[in-house]
Amino acid sequence: MIQVLVVDDSPVVREFLVHILGSDPHIEVIGTATNGEYAVEATQRLHPDVITMDIHMPGMDGIEATRRIMETCPTPIVVVSGSSDPREVATTFRAMEAGALAVLRRPAGMGHPDHEATALDLVQMVKAMSEVKVVRRWPPRSGNAAVAPAVEARMERSPARVRVIAIGASTGGPPVLQGMLAELPKDVPVPILIVQHMAAGFTLGFVQWLAQSSSLPVHLAMHGEHIRPGHVYVAPDEFHMRIERGDTAVLRKDEPEHGMRPSVSYLFRSLRETYGGDVVAGLLTGMGRDGADELRLLKDKGALTFVQDKDSCVVHGMPGEAIRLDAATLVLTPQKIAAMLAHLANNGK
């Protein structure tokens, strides 16, 4: 049984979430909490496998509660949000800075046509997060990391002309991406493309959150737009992103790949077709294997490829699969990845 603590200040919402989770035979709700203080105390007392966390609560909010729980009794936390305002959603991502693993829209109410699907999303998310036994966090940045000589030596075999940087991420990815983008100079000479797996409805808020700490303009990719150097483009909800001739972003609703839309594999495959090996591409923390095969194909074309190292990953699924396939030129911490990308930018690669 997966033991869950439900945290929400609304009695109606608590009862609703308890009902949904308790309806699954593999989940047991072992407690509820009405604010952050009670959530911290209940976590230390009950040791749940997963916590569902509200953000806006009286007294201690969900962000501070997440921070304290991760400091004292690390537990997988899923933020369950009832807000659709992108500005409030951007605030929700502060809980991921504090250590939450994922954000999810609150399931639609009984009788709503989306109720069953969104309730299933919550159940599946809780089950997936219960498998994350060790919650790791990228520690706060302490200045720019240097590129190690061994890394520089391997970078010398990178493409003579880099035309694009592409990054795929899933569980645990948002704070890593935030930290990396914050370290990059504003004059990066190529576009940066990102596919981040997350629940529908949060990508615009994710983009706004990233933009708050980055000197680079961060955009939700738009169909038919010309991607520009020094700009960051994030694949939108429910659309695959590919880049075609003329540096043009194309969004399509083709079938999901590896259960994902947008898919990292879909983007990487298009980059190989459009740019050959003139690419720097990598995979960050995340479940599954999306992007791993295509990263190997990019490497075989001469691209510089990288993955996040196991010790800094929340989940080493995607990077681990890439390493198994010998798809990674470099295996690096997030700080070293940021330093590498900054080095490429500063040297005009």
pLDDT, one tens digit per residue, over 30-77 is: 999 999 999 999 999 999 999 999 999 999 999 999 999 999 999 999
| pLDDT at residue 270, rounded to an integer | 98
On whether both 330 and 212 belong to a single domain, the answer is yes
CA–CA gap between residue 298 and residue 279 (Å, rounded): 8
Our answer to whether residue 247 is catalytic in this structure is no
**Structural domain includes residue 139:** no
Q: Residue 142 — very low, low, confident or very high, per pLDDT cuts 50/70/90? A: very low
On whether both 47 and 114 belong to a single domain, the answer is yes
Catalytic entry in 81, 158, 170, 214: 170
Q: How far from 60 is each of 5, 33, 65, 204, 321, CA to CA, in Å?
A: 17, 12, 6, 26, 40
**Structural domain includes residue 144:** no
| pLDDT at residue 154, rounded to an integer | 57
On whether both 124 and 198 belong to a single domain, the answer is no
| pLDDT at residue 135, rounded to an integer | 53
Residue 331 sits in a domain of what CATH number? 3.40.50.180
Q: Residue 344 — very low, low, confident or very high, per pLDDT cuts 50/70/90? A: confident
On whether both 40 and 119 belong to a single domain, the answer is yes
**Structural domain includes residue 175:** yes
| pLDDT at residue 240, rounded to an integer | 98
**Structural domain includes residue 91:** yes
Segment 7-17 mean pLDDT: 97
Is 80 exceeded by the pLDDT of residue 83?
Answer: no
Q: Which two tokens stand for residue 292?
A: 């791993």
On whether both 254 and 331 belong to a single domain, the answer is yes
Our answer to whether residue 197 is catalytic in this structure is yes
Which of 84-93, 297-306, 333-342 tops mean pLDDT? 297-306
Select from 130, 165, 198 the last residue of a domain. Answer: 130
Map 9-27 to HEC letters: CCHHHHHHHHHHHHCCCCE
Our answer to whether residue 312 is catalytic in this structure is no
Across-strand partners of 232? 192, 218
Segment 306-331 mean pLDDT: 96
Q: How many domains, the chain?
A: 2
Catalytic entry in 9, 54, 130, 197: 197
Q: Which residue shows structure tokens 């198994």? A: 324
On whether both 107 and 178 belong to a single domain, the answer is no
Is 80 exceeded by the pLDDT of residue 140?
Answer: no
Catalytic entry in 24, 49, 54, 290: 290
| pLDDT at residue 147, rounded to an integer | 54
Is 90 exceeded by the pLDDT of residue 252?
Answer: yes
Range with lowest mean pLDDT among 79-93, 211-225, 266-280, 294-308: 79-93
Is 90 exceeded by the pLDDT of residue 196?
Answer: yes
Q: Which two tokens stand for residue 151?
A: 């890394």
Q: Residue 155 — very low, low, confident or very high, per pLDDT cuts 50/70/90? A: low
Cβ partners under 8 Å of residue 273, min gap 6? none
On whether both 38 and 10 belong to a single domain, the answer is yes
CA–CA gap between residue 74 and residue 244 (Å, rounded): 44
| pLDDT at residue 136, rounded to an integer | 47
CA–CA gap between residue 89 and residue 262 (Å, rounded): 20
Is 70 exceeded by the pLDDT of residue 160?
Answer: no
Structural domain that includes position 113? 2-130
Q: Which two tokens stand for residue 294?
A: 């295509």
**Structural domain includes residue 142:** no
Q: Which residue shows structure tokens 């960050």? A: 284
| pLDDT at residue 90, rounded to an integer | 79
**Structural domain includes residue 13:** yes
**Torsion over CA: 38, 313, 80, 92 (sign):** positive
On whether both 221 and 184 belong to a single domain, the answer is yes
Question: What value does the mean pLDDT of the chain take?
Answer: 91
Share of the chain above pLDDT 90, in %: 82
Is 80 exceeded by the pLDDT of residue 254?
Answer: yes
Single-letter code of the amino acid located at 289: R
On whether both 315 and 166 belong to a single domain, the answer is yes
Q: Residue 134 — very low, low, confident or very high, per pLDDT cuts 50/70/90? A: low
